Structures are given as structure tokens and as C-alpha cells.
Amino acid sequence: MRSHAISSDLFIPRDRRRSGLLLAVLVLWGIVAAAFFGLLWVSSDLSFLGPGSYLLPWILLSATCILSPTAYLLYKRRFDPFHPLVFAAWSYIFPAFVVGGVIISMGWADRYFTSFITDPEYNLPLTLVYISVGYLALTAGFFSPVGTYITRLIDRWTPKWQWSLDRMRLPGVLLLLAGVAFNFIGFVQGVLGYQKTTELGVFDGLLFFLLTVLTIGSVLLWLVVFSARERTAIHYLLIAVLLALVPLRPAMEGSRSGLFTALLPIAMAYVYSGRKFNWRIGTLFAIGGSLAVFIGITYGTTFRNIKGSEERINSGEYLGQVVATVDYLSQEDTSLILQQSVEATAQRIDNLSSVAVVVANYEALAPYEASYGLQNNIFNDLSTSLVPRFVWPDKPQTSDPRAYSDLYFNFGDNSFAISPFGDLLRNFGPLGVPIGMLVLGIYLRFIYAALIDTATPALWKKVAYFPLLTVVSYEGFFATIFPSIIRTAFVLVICLLFVNLFSLQKRTAVQGAG
């Protein structure tokens, strides 16, 4: 049995005839809903739903495209919350663009840069079309045979490591400690947290990717925790340490998504440790994830408001901002905090409007991109990514989020979402969106087929899968995805080789005893 097969008995009825009937009913109601909205759309009679009602048919179209792989996997009894297409849809694309579209259409978020979207009744639907086409291309790339072919091609060189769980605690803890140390150094150097340095150091890029060590150690230890059969005092001490780290890094970063991100290794380890995953667990995951997003946005927004800017300050002052944020949230009127949090959540979730700014203006602003270092940033990043900055100290930073924000949003002190869809559109025009996302889909198929959907499952493959999946950002530049994959893979290989040394020690000891 393949390792990706997750127990999901409650997701799909056991009786195939009932499953077929359920699918038929869902398809029928989908056709009815599409016909209803299509009729209203053609009749131009959606205005009674509000001034943004023209978006609703396009939102429905996007939702159908984005959720179709999830529905297919549910029907085929192969649902996996960390399947690349499911993870992409539910962790970012569906909330940012479908829920974000609903937020815009209902007028729940008022953002200053919406005035930059010329002819919103044309450009907002067009943005949803690009998102839908891009996600369908991602799906097509995933289901194409190319990724599987590459997996078969390199399978002979794939390590055949079989790690013993009882030997993984020590290397996992060592990776965790190293990760904490790298995070502390990153915090002091200004690489980590809500702060920025005036100029990049020659080792800052390397240090940024060494922060991945903490994630790798966490994933390994959570897999050990959920797979353990014996519950000793060390087992519970390990759980306590891991849980203590969950809120610590988001609190120091002032990140609005940090708490949600910190919970992902726990959820993935639970799923891939072989534990039962059903509707009840799935609902708990959904509720926990939603609460983490809401709490994270509340804390992160408050922290940023109190700190005021990304100006770098000394460590003591920075810690004082963390304490001040906690004090404010614990003492301020609860109803006021909830009101501010709801408004901040609506604005944070909506990324449709920020990508629509790109769609509306990329042709007009193209002549100015060179002066901001953004012209051809995808090719430039790919061509320079393999040269470390300590070898090439003057290497240009081609995908600068603040330069992009300054050009498109007239505000360079923030990093607005661009998404791979917008970055591909800027670089190559409309045809670039499906082609680029197709290539990304092939990569996602490759890592899933090689590490999870495999006939030879192994603990190291599950550990490797998480950073290679989550390094793909659906909020940032497409240009940075593949360079980031290369750097993350480099750090990952070093960590895996380090952990494997402990497995080799065990085999050597056994052979010596024999």
C-alpha cells in the first residue's frame, strides 16, 4: 500500500452506489447554481446583491476551478490535506482570492490602493480569470506524466535509508537546538522579525535559509511523537518543549501568519504518522487553523502598530515591543480588539485586490521596472541564484518586494502580495501564467511522487517533503520559488545526512556485537 493513503472512511461513503449518487446530486446542484448565476449575470440583474455583485459569477467560477481537485480526491478516496493541490488551494489560493473576492464584493475591506485598479468591473474579474487559468495549469502540470517520469528516472539514486524511530530523538533535538541558534542569530542580525537592514550582508541569504533547520527538526520530532508506541517521561518532556516553541517564533517575528505556519508541522506529522484522519479530525484541523489565522493576525497587526515601522532596533527594545503588545491585548477592551481584529483579518485575507493592481497596471508600468530592478526578474533570479552572495557581494536583488510595492502601490515600506500569477503576468504576459504554473505543477508532482506517493515509504522522505512543499510561496514572486527550492534542498540534504549518521552508528554497533 502506498504511504500517502490516509484513513478517511468518513469522507466518502463506503457504498460506491451511494458515492455515485452523491456525486450526481452535487453535479446537478452545481449545474443549477451555475445556470442561476449565469442567467442573472446575462440579465445584468445582480445589482440587488450590492455594488460588487458583478464579481459573484467570477468568484463562483474561480471557486469551482480551485476546489475541483479537492472534490476529485475526496471522490477517489485519496484525500490528503497535504496533497500539493489541496494544500495550495486551502492554505492560500482559496482564502486569498475566493474569500477575498467575497470580501471585496461585500465591501468589507476598504484599502487605499483599490483606487489604483482602473476599471475594476473589468480588471477584478480578469484577475480571477488569471487565477483560475493558473490554478488549472498547476493541476494539469501535476497530473501530467512528466513529474512521475522524473521520479522514476532518479529513483535509482534515491537513498534507501530506513531510520529507526527510537534513534531519532537525539538528532532531532540537536537540529532543533541548531535551528533555535540560527533563529536567534537571524533575529540579532535583522534577518528575522519585523525589521529590515539597510543593506544585505554577504551571509544574510545563507542565514535566512539556515532558519529552515528549525522546521526540519520540528517535523522530525513531531513524527517521532505521533509514531511513538511508548509514552515515557522523555516523550512528554519533548512534547512540552515542542509546544513551547509554537508561539515563541511568531511572537518574536511579529508575523500575522506565523502561528498558522507553526502549526503546520504538527498537522503534517499527525497525518503522515499513520493516525486516522476523518471528518472529526479534519474539522478540528479547520477550526484550529482558522483560530490560528485570526489570533496571528490580531497579534501581528497590533505588534506592527505598536512598533510603528520596520526600522531596526536593538534586541532589548525589540523584546520590549513584544511585551507591550501582549500587555495591550490583555488590558484593552475585548470588544474593541475583536472589532479591530475582524477588520484586519478581512484586509489580510483579501489579496485579490493587490494582484488586481498588477493586472490593471503592469503594461503601463513596464517601462519603469528597470529603474526599480524588477525588469525580467524571473530570468535574472534564476541566472544569479546559484552564486552565493558571499562569493558575489554586489549581486543585485532583482525581486525586491519593497521596490515592487513602491512602484505599484506608491508605498515602499510594506511588502504587498504579488503572487506567482501576477509575477508571471508582469514578465511574460497572459500566456506566461499557465506556462509557469504548469512547470510549478510538475515540480509539485515530482516531490509528491518521490517522497509521499511512493511504493518505498521512509521517515526521511516525510521529513524532506514538508520544507520542499512549503517553500513554494503563493503570495510572493514566482521568480524566487525555484531559487528558494535549490537553497532549501541544499540545507535539507545537509540535515538529512547529519541525521543519517545516527542510523549508521546503530548499524555499526549491531554489526560489532555480531
For the segment 254-307, what is each residue's pLDDT rounded down to a tens digit?
888 889 999 999 999 999 998 877 788 888 888 999 999 999 999 988 988 888
Instruction: Using only the alpha carbons of the chain, give its radius of gyration.
Output: 24
SS3 assignment for 80-100? CCCCHHHHHHHHHHHHHHHHH
- How far apart, in whole angstroms, are the C-alpha atoms of residue 269 and residue 228? 12
Tell me the residue type at 432.
G
Residue identified by cell 508541522 is 265
Tell me which residue has cell 520559488: 481
Residue pointed to by grid coordinates 534515491: 158
Q: What is the pLDDT of residue 511?
A: 47
Could you count the other beta carbons within 10 Å of the beta carbon of residue 375? Answer: 16
Question: Alpha helices, DSSP H only, in 228-278?
Answer: 233-253, 258-272
d(C-alpha 303, C-alpha 329), whole Å: 10
Residue 259 has phi, psi (to 5 degrees) of -65, -40
How many beta carbons lie within 10 A of that of residue 376, not counting itself?
15
* pLDDT the model gives residue 462: 96
- Inter-residue contact 76 to 69 (CB < 8 Å): no
Beta bridge mates, 311: 196
78: which residues sit within 8 A by CB, 6+ positions away? Answer: 4, 5
What residue ranges of the chain have pLDDT lower than 70? 1-51, 190-191, 197-208, 389-390, 393, 505-514
Please give the pLDDT value at position 7: 46
Q: What is the structure's pLDDT at 82?
A: 96
By the 8 A CB rule, do 418 and 396 touch? Answer: no
The Cα 159–Cα 204 span in angstroms is 31
DSSP secondary structure of 326-358:
HHHHHHS-HHHHHHHHHHHHHHHH--HHHHHHH
Chain mean position to CA 145: 25
For the whole model, what pTM was predicted?
0.87
Task: Please state the φ and ψ torsions of residue 453, each to the nearest 5 degrees.
Answer: -85, 65
